[in-house]
């Protein structure tokens, strides 16, 4: 059970810590919803790679479907669902690109094969077959040899700057807890919502 707190970030920290202990896989996995230029939504999972009071960071291919949609409309939503804890967190906000330095530092921390993968994958575009991907991996492996693999210009991160966060916790007989936070002016307002 959780009590409502004044600050959504301290509640987020507590819930994420418990998810890290309880979830068997990827407690940092979250659904990212974007909308296209016609207002049509789509969603997919991404991994949360950093967060603090300024926002929630994920990394991706900027030329992917989500990359294009974010360029057209920076408003997005994130969703965590931890089945082991019966908890959900919804986050809504607008994205800002991370700085090149931040993206470089994270890219440098990734395994070498993942770095090659970032060069090889034309994320979201049609692939003739598995062989085409493997050929591109071999090409970039040969290109970089044993040298440092620099971050591709089409690969970086986004920070979702939250304007609303909502915490949902299962309670018996569907009388769940819902704590909703909205950012207005310079502070956060907390409200209980009916389940
Ligand atoms: C658990 C999980 C984590 C994922 N993490 C990422 C991620 O951090 N970044 C990313 O670009 N794609 C990630 N993916 C793949 C995306 O869900 C998606 O297939 C890909 O980014 C292409 O999405 P798009 O065509 O909408 O741009 C992940 C998939 C799963 C299932």
The DSSP secondary structure of 98-139, one letter per residue, reads PPHHHHHHHHHHS-HHHHHHHHH--TTS--S-HHHHHHHHHH
**In whole angstroms, what is the distance from residue 104 CA to residue 109 CA?**
9
Residue minimizing CA distance to atom 4 of ligand 1: 46
Question: Which residues, including other chains, have CB under 8 Å from residue 71's CB and lie 6 or more apart?
Answer: none
User: Quick check: CB of 47 below 6 Å from ligand 1?
Assistant: yes
User: Quick check: CB of 64 below 6 Å from ligand 1?
Assistant: yes
Alpha-carbon 134 to chain mean position = 27
Active-site residue, from 40, 90, 130, 174: 174
Residue minimizing CA distance to atom 10 of ligand 1: 60
30 touches 18 (CB < 8 A): no
Q: Note the pLDDT tens digit of each residue in 63-96.
A: 999 999 999 999 999 999 999 999 999 999 999 9
Is residue 174 among the annotated active site residues? yes
Radius of gyration of the chain (CA): 19
Distance 95 CA to ligand 1 centre (A): 17
| Domain 8-99+153-192: top CATH class | mainly beta
Q: Note the pLDDT tens digit of each residue in 104-120.
A: 999 999 999 999 999 99
Nearest ligand 1 atom to the CA of 67 is 27
Instruction: Using CA atoms of 109, 26, 48, 136 in order, give the dihedral in degrees to the nearest 10.
Output: 50
Of 54, 80, 76, nearest in space to 65 by CA: 76
The pLDDT value given to residue 172: 87
User: Quick check: CB of 58 below 6 Å from ligand 1?
Assistant: yes
In the chain, pLDDT over 70 holds for what percent of residues?
99
Distance 163 CA to ligand 1 centre (A): 23
Distance 45 CA to ligand 1 centre (A): 5
Neighbours of 18 (CB within 10 A): 16
**In whole angstroms, what is the distance from residue 3 CA to residue 57 CA?**
26
The pLDDT value given to residue 3: 74
Distance 176 CA to ligand 1 centre (A): 30
Q: Note the pLDDT tens digit of each residue in 4-13.
A: 777 899 999 9
Of 55, 59, 50, nearest in space to 159 by CA: 55
Q: What is the SS3 assignment for 65?
A: helix
49 touches 59 (CB < 8 A): yes
Average pLDDT, the chain: 95
Q: Note the pLDDT tens digit of each residue in 171-193.
A: 888 888 999 999 988 899 999 99
User: Quick check: CB of 34 below 6 Å from ligand 1?
Assistant: no
Nearest ligand 1 atom to the CA of 60 is 11
The pLDDT value given to residue 1: 52
Supply the pTM of this predicted model. Answer: 0.96
Rounded to 5 degrees, what are φ and ψ at 94?
-115, 145
């Amino acid at each position: 059970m959780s009590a409502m707190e004044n600050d959504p970030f301290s509640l987020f920290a507590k819930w994420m810590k418990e998810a890290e202990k309880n979830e068997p896989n990827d407690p940092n996995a979250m659904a990212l919803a974007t909308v296209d230029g016609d207002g049509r939504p789509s969603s997919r999972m991404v991994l949360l790679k950093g967060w603090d009071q300024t926002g929630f960071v994920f990394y991706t291919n900027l030329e992917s479907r989500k990359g294009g949609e974010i360029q057209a409309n920076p408003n997005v939503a994130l969703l965590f669902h931890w089945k082991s804890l019966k908890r959900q967190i919804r986050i809504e906000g607008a994205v800002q690109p991370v700085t090149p330095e931040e993206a470089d530092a994270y890219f440098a921390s990734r395994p070498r094969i993942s770095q090659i993968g970032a060069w090889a994958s034309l994320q979201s575009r049609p692939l003739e077959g598995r062989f085409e991907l493997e050929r591109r991996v071999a090409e970039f492996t040969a290109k970089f040899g044993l040298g440092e693999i620099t971050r591709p210009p089409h690969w970086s991160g986004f920070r979702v700057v939250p304007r609303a966060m909502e915490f949902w916790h299962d309670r018996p007989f569907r009388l769940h807890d819902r704590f909703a936070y909205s950012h207005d002016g310079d502070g956060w307002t907390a409200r209980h919502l009916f389940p």
